[in-house]
Amino acid sequence: MADDIVLVKPVMPAADQVARAVRTVFDSGVITNDGPRVRAFEQQLSARLGSDDLAVCASGTTAIQLACGALRLTGEVIVPAAAFPAVWQAVLRAGAKPVGVDIEPRYLTLDPRAVEAAITPATCAILAVHTFGCPADIDELTRIAARADVPLVFDAATCWGIGYRGRPLLSYGDVATLSLHAMKLTHSVEGGAVVGNGLRVADWIRRLRNFGIGGEGALAQGTNARMSELHAAIGEVVLAESDAEITRRVQVRRWYEDGLHTVDWLTVGAFRPEAGPNVAAMPIMLNADAPVDATTLCQELHQRRIHARAYFTGYYRPSSLRLAGAIPVAHDIANRLVCLPFWGRLTEQHIARVIDALTEIGRHHAPAVHLAGHAAAPVSPGAVGLGGPRGRP
Amino acid sequence: MADDIVLVKPVMPAADQVARAVRTVFDSGVITNDGPRVRAFEQQLSARLGSDDLAVCASGTTAIQLACGALRLTGEVIVPAAAFPAVWQAVLRAGAKPVGVDIEPRYLTLDPRAVEAAITPATCAILAVHTFGCPADIDELTRIAARADVPLVFDAATCWGIGYRGRPLLSYGDVATLSLHAMKLTHSVEGGAVVGNGLRVADWIRRLRNFGIGGEGALAQGTNARMSELHAAIGEVVLAESDAEITRRVQVRRWYEDGLHTVDWLTVGAFRPEAGPNVAAMPIMLNADAPVDATTLCQELHQRRIHARAYFTGYYRPSSLRLAGAIPVAHDIANRLVCLPFWGRLTEQHIARVIDALTEIGRHHAPAVHLAGHAAAPVSPGAVGLGGPRGRP
């Protein structure tokens, strides 16, 4: 029987390289708390980005949280209503107030008109996501943020290796955050980083990740969000492999795009033409005449041992996020977006299996059920933050 | 020249054991996201505690944060005004409101009378710390929490291996949290755990540590607070060494207590008689006639290449923590408490060097300067939460 085709397989360096890296850490006697491997990893990431203001931390989520902390955000932070839960949760964890606004239907990034309409005197930042590696509308958002006199933060969690107008995508925005989680193109098992572009933040992040301890006492925005020396050492080894992973992913995408032409009820996710390579993920959008919705498609693929994910619906839906207005695009997209398996070691045969499965699912579900029958449950417009478990656990 | 005597040296398993553990993880292909090593580590910790409700997470800080999240705490949480910054920061990060109250002077744990006076209708929990492994006043706090009808949470960060009245100290309180940071008796490089005693929390913690993703959508209290498979695998190896480390630390404490008798201007930190072994730390209290304050003592020891730490003053002081009333004991203690180097591989010669250094410092600083001249800077009674960096970074 065929193996499972998982959603992402982490880049795995050779066992002897890992063993050597781990031994170096344990021999040094310093296994966490801002040691030499963390500093070396920060320098390597900085050098590749051409940045002089970068600090790593425990995760992509804490990267957003600490960025909000470093910017002293306590008011409303505009976030996309359709995004991975970490985005609005990290704003909450930082003590600020996320406000969801709609995305635009082509690139699935923050809709600048919706952002403009959502700005109030309480707005203290705009936090946009480069969704699945596709840049947000940087020009428009920069203009809006400048006019509102608030910082523009980009969650570039998935954007390692992606450029925009000749520069790393991570170099845009007053502050940009990166995930170094195992499922990302380059990773440190768990990890994240914050990059200061317009604003200098790295020294603040280094302080906040270590309980904000320093001169005048421990800062309230502090926490433990350190990257361990062990994770940093793995990060260095994986980073050396990342250019090869980019090359592999470019090929995998080509196989997908060739094959998906034959499936007429879906569309490959759009990508801004000035950005590339498109190596973060493999999102597809179900067309209006698709025979299944996103959740059903994931279930049917899973029955065929293919792991796909509908990131904006079901389990991933915000249980409570205050909204600034209607979010028709986010609701529509929730049931139409699916990420297919995407990682560098996928073979042409793997991709053919995915395409075959999609073709078969389309055939089984004819005649088409119109999507209107599968409308997403609306995102709750309830108060910020603390819905959830009912009754004490 | 003599080597530095550091504050804590992590328990370091043999290199080949570490290499084997790391190889197992990388061979499995699962390096994070709730894999088999995390589950096995949870079972091992549970078995040793006799608990059936335990979940690990990224750190001792996130253990407190997730515990507050699982209990849906949004109101006031009573915390000690003298504690490691993680305690009040984790309550803030969970979206609740820490309120500092005084500690009592003997065991440095929450003063039950001060807690009673601080309870208001907004109080939603009492979070006490077993300070340096010494149990809080469990009987009194249990009575007060029951009368106020709020959960009692114990931060037992440093309490692995310590018992109280014939049971693990971690088995007390509705919920107890543990740190598995490298500086703790047993560790997973970075890590933490939450134990449900009166209340069942482990399933909630497992959901919240993974963005709160689940049935009705992602919960607002969620974040990324997973322990990686790599850290869990190291945790298993170190745990197997923890009983030997306890034995070593018992001996180290004996050497200290014998030697410190000769230094008449300090007192070894008190420990409740029904608890033991006293293996978390080596706190000493400077007597009223001590020739130096805590900060100066740390500096003078450091000049002699001995690393000690004054945990309740200077860099570690809360920059902003709302207080329920006066905290004279916390202020007094801040300048009198010092933790001396304490870890299992310290030798009798190391301890002799520390005692000699203390003796010498006492001699150099005679005649005694009265402590009143070194009063601690008062903890700011400012608003909860978001003081800190002034101006954008």
A11-20, B175-184, B275-284: range with lowest mean pLDDT:
A11-20
Instruction: Note whether A16 contacts B: Cβ–Cβ < 8 A.
Output: no
Confidence of residue A204 (pLDDT cuts 50, 70, 90): very high
Q: Which residue has the tokens 């029987």?
A: A1
- B188's CB contacts (< 8 A; 6+ apart) are B41, B56, B180, B227, B231, B232, B234, B235, B238
Between strands A175-179 and A167-168, the pairing is unpaired
Taking the CA atoms of A155, A161, A163 and A166 in sequence, report the sign of the dihedral they define.
positive
Q: Which two tokens stand for residue A255?
A: 């196989």
Q: Name every chain B residue with its beta carbon within 8 A of the beta carbon of A232.
A: none
Q: Does residue B65 register a pLDDT over 50? A: yes
pLDDT digits (tens, 9 = 90+) for A270-294: 999 999 999 999 999 999 999 999 9
Query: Which residue in B239, B185, B228 sits closest to A231, CA to CA?
Result: B228
Per-residue confidence (pLDDT) for residue B15, from 0 to 100 = 84
Using CA atoms, how far apart are residues B338 and B295, in angstroms rounded to an integer? 8
Residue of chain A minimizing CA distance to B385:
A220
Instruction: Note whether A35 contacts B: Cβ–Cβ < 8 A.
Output: no
Per-residue confidence (pLDDT) for residue B14, from 0 to 100 = 86
Architecture of domain B15-239: 3-Layer(aba) Sandwich (3.40)
Instruction: Note whether A389 contacts B: Cβ–Cβ < 8 A.
Output: yes
Instruction: Quote helix, strand, coil % in chain B, to nearest 5.
Output: 40, 15, 45
Using CA atoms, how far apart are residues A303 and A301, in angstroms rounded to an integer? 5
Instruction: Note whether A312 contacts B: Cβ–Cβ < 8 A.
Output: no
Percentage above 90 pLDDT, chain B: 88
β-strand partners of A5: A306
**Which has more confidence, A383 or B300?**
B300
Average pLDDT over residues B71-88: 98
Domain boundaries, chain B: 15-239, 243-372
Residue of chain A minimizing CA distance to B233:
A230
From the list B58, B85, B212, the residue facing A213 with the nearest CB is B85
Alpha carbon A278 to its chain's center: 14
DSSP code at position A28: H
Q: Which CATH number fits domain B243-372: 3.50.50.60, 3.90.1150.10, 2.40.10.120, 3.90.580.10?
A: 3.90.1150.10
- Residue A17, sorted as left (phi over 0), alpha (psi -120 to 50) or beta, turns out to be alpha
pLDDT digits (tens, 9 = 90+) for A163-196: 999 999 999 999 999 999 999 999 999 999 999 9
pLDDT digits (tens, 9 = 90+) for B337-380: 999 999 999 999 999 999 999 999 999 987 645 554 444 443 34
Whether the link from the prior residue into A13 is cis, omega within 30° of 0, is: no
A92-96, A349-353, B13-17, B217-221: range with lowest mean pLDDT:
B13-17
Confidence of residue A388 (pLDDT cuts 50, 70, 90): very low
ipTM confidence: 0.92
Using CA atoms, how far apart are residues A170 and A163, in angstroms rounded to an integer? 8
Per-residue confidence (pLDDT) for residue A366, from 0 to 100 = 74
pLDDT digits (tens, 9 = 90+) for B194-209: 999 989 999 999 999 9
For chain A positions 204-243, those within 8 Å of chain B (CB to CB) are 204, 211-224, 226, 228-231, 234
Per-residue confidence (pLDDT) for residue A15, from 0 to 100 = 84
Residue of chain A minimizing CA distance to B60:
A224
Instruction: Note whether A76 contacts B: Cβ–Cβ < 8 A.
Output: no
> B220–A389: do the CB atoms touch at under 8 Å?
no
Task: State which H helix or E strand residue A176 sits in.
Answer: strand A175-179
Between strands A192-196 and B175-179, the pairing is unpaired
pLDDT digits (tens, 9 = 90+) for B142-161: 999 999 999 999 999 999 99
A230 contacts B189 by C-beta, under 8 angstroms? yes
Confidence of residue B16 (pLDDT cuts 50, 70, 90): confident
Percentage above 90 pLDDT, chain A: 88
**CATH superfamily to which A242-374 belongs:** Aspartate Aminotransferase, domain 1 (3.90.1150.10)
Residue of chain A minimizing CA distance to B15:
A23
Q: Does residue B393 register a pLDDT over 80? A: no
DSSP code at position B379: P
Query: Which residue in A76, A393, A189 sits closest to B232, CA to CA?
Result: A189
> B388–A221: do the CB atoms touch at under 8 Å?
yes
> B190–A84: do the CB atoms touch at under 8 Å?
no
Per-residue confidence (pLDDT) for residue B53, from 0 to 100 = 98
Using CA atoms, how far apart are residues B266 and A297, in angstroms rounded to an integer? 70
> A217–B318: do the CB atoms touch at under 8 Å?
yes
Using CA atoms, how far apart are residues A379 and B130, in angstroms rounded to an integer? 42
- Long-range contacts of the stretch A358-367 (C-beta < 8 A, 24+): A358/A260, A358/A263, A358/A266, A358/A301, A359/A262, A359/A263, A360/A304, A361/A291, A361/A292, A361/A297, A361/A300, A361/A301, A362/A263, A362/A265, A362/A291, A364/A291, A364/A300, A365/A291, A365/A292, A366/A291, A367/A291
Q: What is the CA radius of gyration of chain A?
A: 21
Q: Which two tokens stand for residue B175?
A: 């919920």
Average pLDDT over residues B161-167: 98
Instruction: Note whether B72 contacts A: Cβ–Cβ < 8 A.
Output: yes
Q: Name every chain A residue with its beta carbon within 8 A of the beta carbon of B90.
A: 223
Mean pLDDT (chain A, rounded) = 93
Q: Name every chain B residue with its beta carbon within 8 A of the beta carbon of A86.
A: 211, 223-224
